[in-house]
């Protein structure tokens, strides 16, 4: 039987936490930021690049991988980590967020969701069991329960329905998962997801329901979908009190560096977000002095690296003027360089956070980071 999932807290200084997770494909340290590898690659990055940047776990999107190349092919090829040659820990989301974000193409009912492929318009159906089956075939180390993520804002009825369905699907999914695992142990860990929009009443219900099921880890879903930063923080602060301290806590789809620091301060262990990679492809990188829109004319004559305080491969070698020129010529190389830097920047932030946690100086680290981050020259 493969080594299963386990999670150890190394230190917990008040609410902030430093940990390490063991998975069938190796360990990752928390707080962890997972670059998003939608279709099995972090856009414009190679696995070598990701290793250099210090990423330890990558997220894949179940919705995308199910449609192309299909979970059966990935399974035949030994699972996501092997198929992509990443060979390290991976996590797949449940597809619930994609179904939510492509509302024109999908319809949710109590039993699941019917949606059309964005490739060819073909009709597909996800439900609790089907998603688990697909995720097991894809074979990430951590897989997520099928959930319903609702838009912001949503009315009470919509939130209430989504909380009920998310609970129902979590139970059905886990039951199905346990049945397969009993026959074919894989070492994969299935996490539960708490929903409830920004409504405390529903967050409490959802958190109590989902944590009432024995998952090895819990995610807070349904945030970073349009609510403001105060609403996000309030909802997170409220919800996290219901999550057991001994299990990893994953804040889905977050976020900006300031959001990550905020969430770590409440005890979040895992993050994922497309921001560093997506923004890089639109001409913006994250730097120690705040976001830099390097495609702008300001950079045309600028000999400095993207981030003057960064020691990544890109900042050690290339100037803003050069990268800006390439970006404006639509050169792929510009996207490669910018994505690399921002990926490194986020991993470096997480390394800084983990070291500060280790040394019991997280709040000092956060304050200093934010001071510099707001000082864009």
- Rule CB under 8 A: say whether 42 interacts with its own copies: yes
Per the structure block, which two tokens stand in for 26? 């190796």
- Rule CB under 8 A: say whether 45 interacts with its own copies: yes
Q: How far is the CB of 103 from its own copies (least distance, A)?
A: 23
- Rule CB under 8 A: say whether 304 interacts with its own copies: no
- The region that residue 237 occupies, defined by phi over 0 for left and psi between -120 and 50 for alpha, beta otherwise, is alpha
Q: Output the CA–CA distances (angstroms, integers) from residue 227 to 99, 154, 157, 242, 346, in the order listed.
A: 19, 11, 18, 21, 23
The one segment of 107-115, 144-152, 295-303, 359-367 that binds its own copies by CB under 8 A = 295-303
- Rule CB under 8 A: say whether 117 interacts with its own copies: no
Q: How far is the CB of 303 from its own copies (least distance, A)?
A: 7
List the one residue out of 251, 255, 114 whose CA is nearest residue 193: 251
Question: Do residues 192 and 167 touch, judged by C-beta distance below 8 A?
Answer: no
Describe the crossing of helices 332-358 and 257-266 by its angle, rounded to 10 degrees. 30
Choosing from 93, 137, 147, 307, the catalytic residue is 93
Sheet strands side by side (includes 123-127): 106-109, 112-116, 123-127
The one segment of 80-88, 90-98, 136-144, 350-358 that binds its own copies by CB under 8 A = 80-88
Question: Do residues 190 and 215 touch, judged by C-beta distance below 8 A?
Answer: yes
DSSP string, 13-75: ETTEEEEEEEETTEEEEESEEEEB-TTSS-TT--HHHHHHHT---EEE-HHHHHHTT-HHHHH
Choosing from 141, 147, 269, 272, the catalytic residue is 272
Task: Report CA Rg, the chain.
Answer: 20
* 93 among known catalytic residues: yes
List the one residue out of 277, 217, 275 whose CA is nearest residue 250: 217
Is the four-CA dihedral 32, 35, 36, 39 of positive or negative sign? negative
Sole binder of its own copies in the list 15, 46, 106, 234 (CB under 8 A): 46
Give, as ranges, the residues between 247 and 276 that touch its own copies (CB under 8 A): none
Q: How far is the CB of 9 from its own copies (least distance, A)?
A: 34
Give, as ranges, the residues between 55 and 74 that touch its own copies (CB under 8 A): 64, 68-69, 73
- Rule CB under 8 A: say whether 83 interacts with its own copies: yes
Nearer to its own copies among residue 46 and residue 234 (C-beta): 46
- The region that residue 218 occupies, defined by phi over 0 for left and psi between -120 and 50 for alpha, beta otherwise, is beta
Sole binder of its own copies in the list 1, 48, 120, 122 (CB under 8 A): 48
Nearer to its own copies among residue 44 and residue 194 (C-beta): 44
Q: How far is the CB of 44 from its own copies (least distance, A)?
A: 4
- Rule CB under 8 A: say whether 164 interacts with its own copies: no
Q: How far is the CB of 146 from its own copies (least distance, A)?
A: 23
- Rule CB under 8 A: say whether 310 interacts with its own copies: no
Q: What is the DSSP letter of 342?
A: H
Give, as ranges, the residues between 331 and 370 that touch its own copies (CB under 8 A): 331-337
- Rule CB under 8 A: say whether 41 interacts with its own copies: yes
Q: Which residues are catalytic?
A: 93, 272
Which positions touch its own copies (CB under 8 A)? Answer: 39-48, 64, 68-69, 73, 76-77, 83-85, 300-301, 303, 313, 317-319, 321-322, 325-326, 328-329, 331-337
């Amino acid at each position: 039987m493969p080594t299963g999932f386990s999670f150890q807290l190394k230190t917990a200084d008040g609410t902030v936490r430093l940990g390490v997770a063991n998975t069938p494909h190796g360990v990752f340290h928390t707080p962890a930021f997972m670059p998003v590898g939608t279709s099995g690659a972090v856009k414009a990055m190679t696995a070598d690049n990701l290793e250099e940047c210090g990423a330890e776990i990558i997220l894949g999107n179940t919705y995308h991988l199910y449609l192309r190349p299909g979970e059966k092919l990935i399974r035949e090829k030994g699972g996501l980590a092997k198929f992509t040659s990443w060979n390290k820990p991976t996590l797949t989301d449940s597809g619930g967020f994609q179904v939510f974000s492509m509302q024109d193409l999908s319809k949710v009912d109590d039993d699941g969701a019917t949606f059309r492929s964005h490739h060819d318009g073909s009709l597909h159906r996800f439900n609790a069991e089907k998603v688990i089956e697909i995720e097991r075939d894809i074979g990430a180390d951590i897989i997520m329960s099928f959930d319903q993520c609702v838009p912001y804002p949503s009315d009470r009825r919509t939130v209430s329905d989504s909380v009920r369905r998310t609970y129902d699907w979590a139970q059905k999914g886990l039951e199905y998962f346990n049945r397969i695992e009993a026959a074919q142990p894989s070492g994969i860990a299935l996490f539960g997801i708490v929903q409830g929009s920004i409504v405390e009443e529903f967050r409490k219900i959802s958190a109590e329901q989902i944590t009432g099921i024995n998952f090895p880890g819990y995610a807070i879903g349904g945030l970073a979908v349009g609510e403001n930063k105060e609403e996000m923080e309030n909802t997170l602060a409220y919800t996290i009190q219901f999550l057991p301290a001994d299990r990893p806590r994953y804040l889905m789809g977050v976020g900006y560096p300031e959001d990550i620091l905020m969430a770590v301060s409440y005890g979040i262990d895992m993050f994922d977000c497309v921001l560093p990679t997506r923004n890089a492809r639109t001409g913006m990188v994250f730097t120690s002095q705040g976001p830099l829109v390097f495609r702008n004319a300001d950079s045309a004559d600028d000999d400095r690296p993207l981030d003057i305080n960064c020691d990544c491969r890109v900042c050690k070698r290339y100037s803003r003027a050069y990268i800006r020129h390439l970006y404006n010529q639509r050169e792929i190389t510009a996207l490669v360089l910018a994505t690399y830097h921002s990926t490194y920047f986020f991993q470096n932030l997480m390394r800084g956070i983990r070291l500060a946690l280790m040394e019991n100086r997280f709040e000092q680290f956060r304050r200093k980071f934010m001071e510099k981050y707001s000082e864009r020259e």
